[in-house]
Structure 1
Amino acid sequence: MRWGTEQRLEFIEFRAFWEGGIRRGDITDRFGVSVPQASNDLALYQKLEPNNLRYDASEKRYVPTVEFTPRFMKPNADRYLIQLKAIADHVIGLDETWITIAPQVDAMPVPTRRIDPVMLKRFIAVIRSKKSVEVYYQSMSGKRPEALWRRITPHAFGHDGLRWHVRAYCHLDNKFKDFILSRCRDLRNEDITEADANADRNWTSFFDVVLGPNPALTPSQRDTVSSDYDMRDGEVIIPVRYALLYYFEKRLRLDVVGEHDKPTEKPIIIKNWEEFCQARQAAAL
């Protein structure tokens, strides 16, 4: 089956599942195909999955049956909600999704850090070429209060929940570090490098964080938390890169001392806390 045909069949299922039905016009508008082609797509879909759709004359569209089971798409709540958030954040427009009418949605406004697209493009090129580059970087440490040129060998990007970082070997400090992307002011002097990304063990290695409901919650609340986080037997294992353990703890507020919060404000805990602390400290060395 051709990719274009399969994509239109996936679109049929998306609209049937999330929007409750689909018309030929939806296909022609979205993909720019002719009305006969849209009819052929619907006929092909009904041939492949005869029990999934039925024509509703009152609505003048095809609607899902009670036996509807997607074949070309896997319903994903996170993906749908991420698109709604991207629309609310004005990152994409509604016409860039397959959603017909977006429900009202908003997200907590978070000040964004300006990232120069040209700078990002240059970093991508350096990473692909496996070279080093000098970056004019403004650190917030007291040790280096002024911006300075420093040579780094970037190999990946990381996000800590709020900021984008460039993961790189720092030739000034002789170790792998995170550089906040928005604080990289300029690049110059690409060169060959002996730094090997595979040597960044904190990036290539993962620690299994075991999360569980806060034992201070009531049994009913603990059951709800287990369901919230899709836990099995009261726990869920989250593999986290060693390089991201610090951010993981901060973003989930797992570093807050227990008495500072009510149990309901800290519904999950790290069950392997001692091992987690050892791993986080090892990553900081």
Structure 2
Amino acid sequence: MDNEGGKIRWGTERRLEFIEFLAFWEGGVRRADIAERFGVSVPQASNDFTLYQKLAPLNLKYDSSEKRYVPTPEFAPRFMSPDADRYLSELEALADSEIDTRDTWITKPLSVGVMPVPARRIDPAFLKQFVGAIRAGNSVEINYQSMNQNRPGALWRRITPHAFAHDGLRWHVRAFCHIDSKFKDFILSRCQGLRSEGAPGASASDDRRWNTFFDVILEPNPALPESHRETIALDYEMKDGRAVIPVRCALLYYFEKRLRLDIDEKKDRPAEKPVRIANLKEFIEARDAGKA
């Protein structure tokens, strides 16, 4: 961002972005907000407002009754792009105590109800070792408790990890399994021990299902009334009644489960499945291609 031919310093630009954030999401901003958040003096905060008004003269006006700057009807952000998903995610994280107000620009958290999900234990030391192995391109032995009936107890096995994946509820590490000689997902919370880094068994570029994307085409359930189908199309930002979602082939199974696309059709309760997969035959082929 240029300032009369000069580049605005990163710290200053962040404070200008903060001014817009509070003006947009909280309806106004004071000098004290900047001073408290960034640890600068009130005179410095005043300078930030002066610079902001110079760069965006139509965006803010001073409200003497509220003693703060408030957005004008012409307000148009210059330093931030309003992101509803990010704002709601931070509200959720605040409600779950995953972060506190020092980790977000939200100064006035709203009341938020979050559906509790049982936590899955992930040992930070194990995660650190996985991160190190991935960065180094090495394999590592893990003591893993699978749900395979033929392997009732935890088993030491060597894997070459290359990525992490989240299915909406659980974290996995994507890795080449040296026992089964193929790429698989391992749930991080089921790793009971790590040891002995070594040579890799395969590289990330060899994981075809991870590196290949399949376009899942979603459409409203035709069993719904027309007005409901129109609502679903708006919910999913569909164009011409369809939404195209690129998904890694390795994650298609989790995608189907997470969106409840695998539930049985219920003629009397189509709202249980508001969207369906339009290219279902191709989806099933892509989903099942990696099954042994």
Provide the TM-score with structure 2 as the length reference: 0.96
Shift of 1:95: 2.9
Q: Which residue of 2 aligns with 1:104?
A: 111
Segments ≥4 residues shifted beyond 4 Å? none
The alignment partner of 1:18 has SS state of helix
Cα deviation 1:60-79 (Å, max 9, x = unaligned): 10000000001111111100
1:62 aligns with 2:69: yes
Going from structure 1 to structure 2, the CA distance change for 1:261 and 1:246 (only over 3 Å counts) comes to farther
Shift of 1:284: 2.4
Q: Which residue of 1 aligns with 2:200?
A: 193
1:242 aligns with 2:249: yes
Shift of 1:194: 4.1
Residue 210 of structure 2: which of 192, 203, 209 is its match?
A: 203
Q: Which residue of 2 aligns with 1:149?
A: 156
Q: Which residue of 2 aligns with 1:277?
A: 284
Give the aligned residue type for 2:281.
Answer: E
Give the aligned residue type for 2:188.
Answer: L
Q: Which residue of 1 aligns with 2:81?
A: 74
Residue 92 of structure 1: which of 99, 107, 112 is its match?
A: 99
Q: Which residue of 1 aligns with 2:135?
A: 128
Shift of 1:99: 0.9
CA distance in 2, matches of 1:161, 1:194: 29
CA distance in 1, matches of 2:220, 2:31: 48
Shift of 1:259: 2.1
Identity of aligned residues (%): 65
What is the number of residues matched between the two proteins? Answer: 285
CA distance in 2, matches of 1:226, 1:212: 7
Give the aligned residue type for 2:184.
Answer: K
The alignment partner of 2:227 has SS state of helix
Provide the TM-score with structure 1 as the length reference: 0.98
Cα deviation 1:147-203 (Å, max 9, x = unaligned): 011000000000011100000000000000000000111111111224111010110
Shift of 1:143: 1.6
Stretches of structure 1 lacking an aligned partner (at least 5 in a row): none
Q: Which residue of 2 aligns with 1:228?
A: 235
The alignment partner of 2:180 has SS state of coil
CA distance in 2, matches of 1:193, 1:20: 54
Shift of 1:261: 6.8
Residue 259 of structure 1: which of 254, 260, 266 is its match?
A: 266
Shift of 1:112: 1.0
CA distance in 2, matches of 1:141, 1:167: 18
CA distance in 2, matches of 1:279, 1:58: 61
